Structure 1
Amino acid sequence: MNSMTSGTPASEGDLFEGDPAMLPSQHRDGDAPDTFRAAASDFERIPPQDQDAEQSVLGGVQLSKDAITEVVEILKGHEFYKPAHETIYRAVVDMYGKGEPVDPITLGEELTRRGEIAKIGGAAYLHTLVQCVPTAANAPYYAEIIRDKWKLRQAIEAGTKVTAMGYAQDADPEEVIEASAARLLALQATFDTGKDPAGWDASMEELVEGWEDDQAAGENPGLPMPWEDLQSMLCTVPGHLVILAGRPGMGKSVALLDLMRHLAVVHDRPAAFVSLEMARRQIMNRLIAAEAEIPQHDIRKRALTPDQWKKYDKVRGRIAASPLRLIVPPGGITVPQIRSALRRWQIEDRLPHALALDYLQIIKPDSQRGGNRTNEVDAIARGLKEIGLEFDIPVFAAAQLSRQTTGRESKVPQLSDLRESGEIEQAADAVILLHREDYYEPESERAGEIDMIIAKNREGSTGIVTAGFRGRYSKIEAMGQV
């Protein structure tokens, strides 16, 4: 049994019990330095707990039904340090759920019926609990103390496990750091003692009421987009994974940056654009070209005219003040690293309203040991969908289409052209295929137009939205605005 969960402090030896090889050499030969002995003594202290608070809560719930009503919203039962106290509390909750009165007599009878009266020290202990309560009105306050002590014990247990991972001789440092961060940050979800946050016990009545509340809140247009027709068809909401796919140079990066620019600069909503292809300077060139309508060529040459500087001056303030983050990870990025960054932002209350990644197939696989490429891309696609659901934000990702589109008579892309993975299509809530006639025929009568082909849409219909592609400004505009 894990020493922390059993209520016994973990010692250094407990972490590696049964496997002396896991101990550093100075511990195997019994000649540990004094500094390490001092660190080991930290594990010998009694875990955080408050027996007075536990007794006061259990006494209070025997005196007042109102106290039970408030305490059950705070404690589940596992937060008690003393096992006997957890046994008593669970019996109280069961009796309360059945509508039975709770007092030392009825509670004693219930515990006797369960065969647990001896386990808690006899019926006399229930009367002792009542006598040590200053006032039943303070029961919720004492319950919060119990919950806080439990949280500290959980943090200690997580830290102990992280320590054991670090001592493993075959441990990969990067994997240990990622797993440690995930374990420690995941405690936040563990500490949610509210009403069934995962929905396991949600009744249909609750779900119907929630649906009615959503409808009463008014029309939900979805995430703001620079193209109204696409926005109304997709109605992108938190948790969605939207794939924008096309051949190289078709306009994937332009479309993604337009989406994030519109969200942050126009609507002042936090957005993050992660580029694995461009330097931050290149992204800034495109951003300013699009917002100020200055040709990219002039910006790259650093040859702005006085009129172009005036255009820039008009937009500088709103660009600089916008909650847009441009991220260019050195050396690439993995899905776990994206998740870790989002967890940090969530803790700091800086979580973006949408995340864009350019592009999916060059996100690094979790393991650097090599593997089947299709399986790696499948895992990346699933991981991005999980990130959207976990952090309740829409995720947009560019994806590459295979070369087979160029070999067909009709160059219009299809879902089957998604490169290297069928899981991309499966995981996505929506797939938008980008197509430009002038990409293949520069003199096409449709030059300057881009088709955004909605090939998959879980939340609505499929179809084609045509917009204006203004490549010199790194910008895609609704046809009425071109």
Structure 2
Amino acid sequence: MQTVRQLDHRATADNDGLPLTPPPGDPDSERALLAACIHDKHRREYDEAAAIITRDDFTVPAYAALWDVLGDQIRDQRPTDPDTLRVELDRRGELRPFGPGGGHLHEIADSYSGGSAEYFAEAIRRTSRLRNLDDLTTRIKAGIHTGRDLEELEALITRHVDDRATTPAAGGSRFVDGASFILDLPADVPANWGEGDNVLWAEGEALLIAGPAGVGKTTIAQQVVLAAIGLRPHALGYPVRPVKRFLYLASDRPAQAARSFARMVSEEDRDIVRDRLVFWKGPPPSDFIKDPGTLLRLCRQAGADAVCLDSLKDMAGELASEEGGQAINSAIQRTLVEGIEVLGLHHHRKQGGGKDSGREPTSLDELYGSTWITAGAGSVVSLYGAAGDPIVNLRHLKQPAGECGPWRLKHDHPRGHTDIWHEVDVLDVLAHARGPLTAQQLAIQIYGGEKGKATASETEKARRRLDQLVEKGLAHKIANGGGRGAQAGYVAAFSPNGELPESA
């Protein structure tokens, strides 16, 4: 019995009367892209194109091989002239498709007539998406003719739609009219982690969790990750927005990261962890300085809409240099703009033995590396304490909305669980104050000012908190309220019977 139906290559239509045509491809754009990258003296064209396509988007296998070689040459700062490319392709055993002596490489280079690599990459990506649709259509039709279950075919379509959800559309999809961009912002900052004014991680902005070794950066980040994939109800008591799949770059001691996660999940969680969490073990395939598009490509390949970088020092070379800081910032911004959320772990500067030794960092300047790193983050959280101590401090050094904390956190190391152990209740302080409370007095209680003093910044933060209570009807503001000079004071707004107003 014949069980295999042979394809008649002379046929011009299939059994349904539809024309038989080859899958969509654009070898001319592939060739033009390669030529643009070969001739780019500043080596920016490849990076721009690599943020849009991968080798899988090429239809000509030889062009895909050349794309890989070009990427390696550019990342390692080696020449990209045709003769050098010929030697490298020959070393890899991939020179034959380029003709005798690799002569076709010179033809590709000589074909360059202008145009940006980004333009050609977008054209290639478009035809790649059309090929995916063509393949999906073929598989569905084959499934219908072979009697596959309806549920299987529907699942095939669903998987395709899910994959497309994490693949950005090429072209000018990020153009937004001025009125919408400026005037249509939501009342509250949309949060990946947090709610209301208490936002630790805002949508579309990176979160950095910084601290010395052993204070629980990885533990807290992993609790956020597990909440995002549905295995925990919250992190530090605040909700976490669900994601489809989280990519975790376990670049700093991956075995330790695995042991840390193992405290928090069980065999019952296997299906969720398998489907919604994916790991990359060790450093990324390319240094971000050499290839800022690496992070975005990894996220796309993993089908992830959120990524954790553990830790930044493993992503690029010298972070204290302008080049290193800009590379980290560029990699993160390229990823965020495509709708993929970024969480990164970072470190404080090492303290010397002078007067600042053992002092808790209180500003962004005290984080390690170039200022470009923190400048590109929407939120920066600092942890501080002794390595392995169950009680550590959390300060919110950069806020997308209101300030969270300062808090004292309590780690339950065996279970991998962290709670807010102590925070100053501003309303409670206000209610029990002897006389009007000034912003400076509150700042000392919240931030633990040295020698009974608070910085101007801390005082201003405390003032904003008190003014928010006034706006909510929970406090009254009194001019010259008992402080030095013309400092205002604040008192609790209690009713005569000692209760807060109903509006509270």
If the TM-score is normalised by the length of the shorter chain, which range does it land in? 0.3 to 0.5
Looking at secondary structure, tell me which structure has more helix per residue: 1
Structure with the larger RCO, 1 or 2 (CA within 8 Å, 6+ apart)? 1
Larger radius of gyration: 1
- The normalised TM-score by structure 2 is 0.46
